[in-house]
Structure 1
């Protein structure tokens, strides 16, 4: 362990230390990040842990780093900030527009499960809404989604009845007032949110599913950071540390969701970029591969 700055100063003298200290500060990679804007604390913690894992694995090859969190803004605003270089990194679902605005690091943090959406409803209506058995029946219901999420464009393109919400926090009241029948969240994020809302519940018999990728996106002004993260992904996929972190963090939620037992209402994603690495089986959950990618011919 290095000596504290004051001890070094007393031993070496301030004049000798200052240039060395300044040089060391300049070698620290500062990552200004906006992780999952508007998401819950548990999701934010997971994504930051993944980011730290990738950066920790590359300290030997790329040097030390420091994370700095930015203020919470909308996803659209965050992508404008990353495009301009105001921030360095964001985590979000991919789309063609977002990949043009930034440098995508094409490994999905949620192994494709952010495109597996579990419907949320008032507990008093769960039996009624769980009786849905086809896309046509589901599309006739009023679905709430956050306006600037790619999910909204995906569902709208497939003909779903949508109510566009300004932010995530508004959906519980929209359900209570029955302005919408359903709201949907990813299988890896839904339970920590709904467990805090006792009048709402997650439907148990069906889900909505579309091919989707949730990445780290890097500012075009920070290509070295993007390359470092790609190197980190190769390391953590090879040594199993990412899969272990994923299972430790979201495994209990997936067990609770019983995804394999549900009816999957598949929806196409016309805005999935063609560069999405659907063929790389390391990157996707087995159910995503079998129920979505292979079913769609990928």
Structure 2
């Protein structure tokens, strides 16, 4: 379906099934069922809706789509009710955000993926200014790209995710910042590329990953928000979080690393930046 036909399509919302439950379709296709990246957000969404007290039943979307198209489907009510994604002012304008960072901002803790041969050189770097002179790589349309640029780092864009790993091996970039939750999986998937995690350093910038719904889905948004707060209060979100990310956090050993704190120009004034209970802390481990 082309974008030009979206406006004429009949909008859809979460619907009631024969058992009286409201079906909520989330943006993770059935064909991606074996992709572990989706397990935590899906299970957290299910936990929140269960705790909300409403009669909700979740199901995956029918097919995989580029993120921009998925966002458009949610905005126009075209068969998808919930998406989770990094927030931007534009997304908070076109969709309704539930402003609770679902991964507690862990997405913003970034280790540096490098060529293993360069580990000693990275260990000798003594300041962020030295690191800024090296070239990082990021997706050309990722929010991370302008964040690094506006903090004074040298960044090369790529239109291809896989291309960034090849740019690294070909010395076109010197490092590729990756989230704590991503980097171990990516290394394990590429055992013959000679890659490693740089010693000593970790980037941090506030990076809220929110659930978003259509603007007129206030009831659904309220249910998700209520359920998330209850899951935080009773510890069930902590349990789920540590089950999925505890090993990666432990392996990253963030408390021993030098933190380079970056400003995130993509945050809106409504970001709950001062609510410490919503954000990951290396000292607390949650």
TM-score (norm 2): 0.84
Residue number in structure 2 paired with 1:181? 174
Could you tell me which residue of structure 2 aligns to residue 105 of structure 1? 98
Matching of residue 66 in structure 1 with residue 63 in structure 2: no
**Alignment of 1:220 onto 2:198:** no
List alignment gaps of at least 5 residues for structure 1.
Answer: 1-21, 290-298
3-state SS in 2 of match to 1:92: strand
Whole-angstrom CA distance in 1 between matches of 2:68 and 2:62:
15
Q: Report the CA distance shift for 1:66/1:101 in structure 2 as closer, same or farther (over 3 A).
A: same
Alignment CA distance shift 1:110-1:131 (3 Å)? farther
Residue 30 (structure 1) aligned with residue 23 (structure 2): yes
Is residue 166 from structure 1 mapped to residue 159 from structure 2 by the alignment?
A: yes
Preserved contact between residue 75 and residue 148 of structure 1 (Cα < 8 Å): no
Q: CA deviation at 1:281?
A: 2.1
CA distance in 2, matches of 1:121, 1:259: 17
Change (3 A) 1:185 1:108: same
Say whether 1:76 aligns with 2:68. yes
Aligned equivalent of 1:130: 123
For 1:205, the equivalent position in structure 2 comes to 200
RMSD across aligned positions (CA): 2.4
- Cα distance in 2 for residues equivalent to 1:140 and 1:76: 32
* CA positional deviation for 1:197: 1.5
Q: Work out whether residues 42 and 192 of structure 1, in 8 Å CA contact, stay in contact via their aligned partners in 2.
A: no
Question: Is 1:191 the equivalent of 2:190?
Answer: no
- The corresponding residue for 1:19 is none
- Name the count of aligned residue pairs: 264
1:249 aligns with 2:244: yes
CA apart distance, 1:189: 2.3
Separation in 2 of the partners of 1:131 and 1:72?
A: 44
The offset of 1:284, in angstroms, is 1.1
Structure 2 CA distance for aligned equivalents of residues 70 and 182 of structure 1? 36
Cα gap change, 1:26/1:169 in structure 2, threshold over 3 Å: closer, same or farther? farther
Alpha carbons of structure 1 residues 187 and 23: separation in structure 2 relative to 1, 3 Å? closer
Measure, in 2, the Cα distance between the counterparts of 1:281 and 1:238.
13
Distance 1:52-1:241 versus aligned 2 partners, 3 A rule? same
Deviation of residue 88 (structure 1)? 1.7
Alignment match of 2:41 (pick from 44, 47, 66): 47
Q: Deviations over 1:197-246 (max 9, x none)?
A: 22211112101111221111112242222111011112101111001111
Q: Is the 8 A contact 2:139 2:157 kept in 1?
A: yes
Q: Distance in 2 between matches of 1:187 and 1:25?
A: 42
How far apart, CA to CA, are the structure 2 residues paired with 1:278 and 1:35?
28
- Which aligned pairs between 1:271-286 and structure 2 lie closer than 5 A? 271-286=266-281
**Which structure: greater helix fraction?**
1
Q: Which moved more, 1:102-111 or 1:75-84?
A: 75-84
Please identify the structure whose Cα radius of gyration is greater.
Answer: 1
Q: Shift in Å at residue 123 of structure 1?
A: 1.4
C-alpha distance in 2 between matches for 1:286 and 1:30: 35
